[in-house]
Each structure stands twice: as C-alpha cells, then as structure tokens.
C-alpha cells in the first residue's frame, strides 16, 4: 500500500468515532517502533516530521525510511505529515518529497516565533491549500498559539499571554471557510515540550469547552490537539533513577484527550512521551552496563520502550483494530475529489 492521504485516515476516524496518534520521528528506530506497534494492533498511523527533523535526518533519508515502512507493512495505512510548516515554501517542499499531508502553521510568522495576524494566517494557509489539494495532499492549519517551544518552533507563551492566544470558536468557523483546510489545530492551553504544567491540569488551564464549541460549529472539520503528550511519571522516574535530573511535571491526561475525541478531535500529536521512553531505556543501559558501546545494545531497548508508548496511545485513542477497515484512496483520487469541491 502506498503512503495514504491523511484526509482518508481522518475521515474514517470521524465516521467511526476514534482518534489517530501522530508520532514525530527523527530516525529509523522511531519509525520502526511506530510500525511495529501499528502492525501488532492493526492500527492506521500518522508519522510526522518537523522542520528540525527534516534538517537532522535529511529529506532523502526520511523519504526512503518511510518507503521502507510501507513496503514492510503493506496492510497498514500510513500518512506522512509535515509538522508545523512555517511557510508555504516549507510545505511545498515536503509535498515534493512525497509527504501526503502538511501543516501550514500560519498562527506564527515565518520565524516560527512571532504571533501572526489573522489576515496573514489566512493568506499563507489558503495558498498551501490550493496547491496541496491539486495533488490530493491534506492540509492542516492552526488558529491560536500554543505555549512552549519545541524544535525551535513556538512563541514561548506562558500564563496570561498564552490564555490571550487561545482559539476563538467564532473565528475558527470563519477561518475554515476562508482557507478550506482539512484539519484545524486549536489552542486550548496545551503546550509543546515536556514541561507543560506544574500540576495536573484542570478546566482552568485546559479549555476542553473550546473544542466542544468548535466542533458544534464545525462538525465536519477534523480537529487536532498539539502538545498532547501525557508525560507519564513512570517514564520520568526511570530517567531520574538512572542519572537524569528532570523536575516534576505534568502533561495532558489521556482521559482529557479521550474527551476531545468525543468532540471532534481526530489527530493527536505525540512526541515528548516517546522521547522520554527512549531516553529512559538508553540511560538504564548505560547505568547498568557502563562498558557498553554497541549502539544496538541501547537502541534496541529504546525502540521497544517507544513501541510500548505507541501501543498504549493507539489503544487509548481507539485506532487499534481500524487499519484493515480504512478504505484505500490514492493522492490522485483525492485530487479529483477536491477538484469536484
């Protein structure tokens, strides 16, 4: 099965009431962990790369790793997604490298740090939608600004400033009409990175009611939760047990994500949890066997640890058992669908 347009996965998720985890990758072991989990659980997946990942791994390596993934796992529908494209040029370059989905994050200027105007966001996002849809490629947009910074991307908003940049449901309705995006990432109080909250988030900081209202206004638009790693305490404990010094921190509870799924969230970004799992496994090898120098000796348990996290998220989000039910549609078919309006 070739790489799948992300819209196909999100449409199927919407029709069947589940969410799809979108896992960030930088290397072979991460892709292997995701695909092993997907194969074991019969789960469709979204594999995504940030600009930082594309720079680190280089596009040709990532492209061929993804082609290997679909070759080795032909029954699993996989979408390849550009995460947080900072400009139309970034998105179009991803499409040229075979990505079946891209995010035009026009909520920030091209520097990936400065909050943008609504007009700028519409202009750059609409430009990507027009070009991407000609090729059958899915487009995710963003309205509002998340807190935190990851991979050099983010405005670094905190406190009252972050609350001032939450997504406005009425503006979201207008934005989808103005741009034609397939999916919309919304700012509800989540943030990038491991250090999201100093205590378990409540309705005061995690505004799930925003998602519910946007879904009421836009029942046919797929919603996206960014900054949604759960930052499990047990993963931090492993890191600290074997020499790490991570302070106490809290992520987004899985039950809150499940609430979002009930209100139209179809794509959930997960990155930090996998980084924590791999880091803990590697630290354990080095601490318990300080003479070890074979990368396979520490990357193999790291890969297994990440696979466990992926499996847990796939089950929690409801995508397990769905891969074999997803219809097969090519980019060419999606392009014809978009052309028909």
For residue 3, the model assigns a pLDDT of: 96
Looking at 77-86, 90-99, 154-163, which range is the least confident one?
154-163
Q: Let me know: does 235 contact 192? Beta carbons within 8 Å.
A: no
For residue 133, the model assigns a pLDDT of: 98
pLDDT exceeds 90 at position 151 = no
* DSSP β-bridge partners for residue 140: 103, 183
Write down the domain spans for the chain: 6-339
145 pLDDT band, cuts 50/70/90, is confident
Q: Let me know: does 314 contact 306? Beta carbons within 8 Å.
A: no
Active site residues: 83
In Å, how far from its chain's centre is CA 324? Answer: 22
pLDDT exceeds 70 at position 191 = no
For residue 149, the model assigns a pLDDT of: 47
The pLDDT of 109-127, averaged and rounded, is 95
Per CATH, which fold does 6-339 belong to?
Answer: TIM Barrel (3.20.20)
The pLDDT of 21-49, averaged and rounded, is 98
The predicted-structure confidence for 197-216, as pLDDT tens digits, reads as follows: 565 655 556 788 999 999 99
pLDDT exceeds 60 at position 69 = yes
* Residues 143/334/331/274 CA torsion (nearest 10 deg): 40
CB neighbourhood size of 326 (10 A): 21
The predicted-structure confidence for 268-306, as pLDDT tens digits, reads as follows: 999 999 999 999 999 999 999 999 999 999 999 999 999
Q: Is the pTM of this model over 0.85?
A: yes
For residue 207, the model assigns a pLDDT of: 86
For residue 250, the model assigns a pLDDT of: 84
The per-type count for the chain, helices as H runs and strands as E runs, is 14, 8
The pLDDT of 57-80, averaged and rounded, is 97
């Amino acid at each position: 099965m070739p790489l799948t347009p992300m819209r196909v996965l999100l449409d199927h998720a919407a029709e069947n009431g589940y969410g799809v985890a979108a896992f960030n990758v930088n290397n072979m072991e991460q892709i292997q962990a995701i695909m092993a989990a997907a194969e074991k659980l019969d789960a469709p997946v979204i594999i995504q790369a940030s600009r930082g990942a594309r720079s680190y791994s280089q596009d040709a390596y990532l492209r061929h790793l993804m082609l290997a993934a679909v070759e080795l796992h032909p029954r699993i529908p996989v979408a390849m997604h550009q995460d947080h494209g900072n400009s139309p040029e970034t998105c179009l370059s991803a499409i040229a490298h075979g990505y079946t989905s891209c995010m035009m994050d026009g909520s920030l200027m091209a520097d990936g740090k400065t909050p943008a105007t609504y007009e700028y966001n519409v202009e750059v996002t609409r430009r990507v939608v027009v070009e991407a849809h000609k090729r059958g490629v899915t487009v995710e947009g963003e309205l509002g600004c998340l807190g935190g910074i990851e991979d050099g991307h983010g405005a670094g908003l905190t406190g009252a400033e972050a609350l001032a940049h939450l997504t406005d449901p009425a503006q979201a309705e207008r934005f989808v009409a103005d741009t034609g995006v397939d999916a919309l990432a919304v700012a509800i109080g989540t943030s990038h990175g491991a250090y999201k909250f100093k205590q378990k988030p409540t309705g005061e900081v995690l505004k799930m009611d925003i998602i519910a209202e946007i879904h009421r206004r836009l029942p046919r638009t797929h919603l996206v939760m960014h900054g949604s790693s759960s930052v499990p305490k047990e993963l931090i404990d492993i890191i600290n047990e074997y020499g790490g010094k991570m302070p106490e921190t809290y992520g987004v509870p899985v039950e809150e994500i499940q609430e979002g799924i009930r209100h139209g969230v179809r794509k959930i970004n997960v990155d930090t949890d996998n980084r924590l799992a791999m880091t803990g496994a590697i630290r354990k090898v080095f601490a318990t066997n300080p003479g070890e120098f074979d990368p396979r000796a520490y990357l193999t348990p790291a890969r297994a640890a990440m696979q466990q996290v992926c499996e847990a998220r796939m089950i929690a989000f409801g995508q397990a058992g769905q891969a074999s039910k997803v219809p097969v549609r090519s980019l060419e078919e999606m392009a014809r669908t978009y052309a028909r309006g």
